Amino acid sequence: MVAGADAVLLIVAALEQAELTHLLQVASDCQLDVLVEVHDLEEMDRALDTDARIIGINNRNLKTFEVSLQNTETLSQEVTGDRILVSESGIFTGADTARIRDWGCDAILVGEALMRAEDRSATLQELSRGVATA
């Protein structure tokens, strides 16, 4: 059995543009998928200037730690074409999932909701309700 990664996370805020572009190419050469994470419009523009196929919009402000799904609503409008769009952080209900889907996202990344859940199975079912209404 061979162990290894299938994907990597590149956080635009932590990288210069040349580094981002280089690391995307290295990941491609290694046949790795890349989730390119953005937090604001400037970072989204930088991500869109690359060949990134999967773009994640983090709803958590890394400076204030404030979380707002409005970040996904705003930034998702910038993405066109066949890129995969992921909403990250602050997703707790099926209503959240439905809103995110309506904004054009293809996937969600959920952590805190599951970590805090007393019944993780029920939480997953609740989050799935937003997809089931599609």
Q: What is the CATH number of the domain that holds 70?
A: 3.20.20.70
DSSP annotation of 13:
G
1 assigned to some structural domain: no
Number of domains present in the structure of the chain: 1
Per-residue pLDDT of the chain (134 residues; tens, 9 = 90+): 666 889 999 999 999 999 999 999 999 999 999 999 999 999 999 999 999 999 999 999 988 999 999 999 999 999 988 999 999 999 999 999 999 999 999 999 998 898 999 999 999 999 998 776 55
79 assigned to some structural domain: yes
Domain of 19, in residue numbers? 7-132
Listing DSSP states for 57-90 in one string gives EE-B-TTT--B-THHHHHHHTT--TT-EEEEES-
- 18-to-15, 25, 33, 79 alpha-carbon distances in Å: 8, 11, 19, 21
43 assigned to some structural domain: yes
2 assigned to some structural domain: no
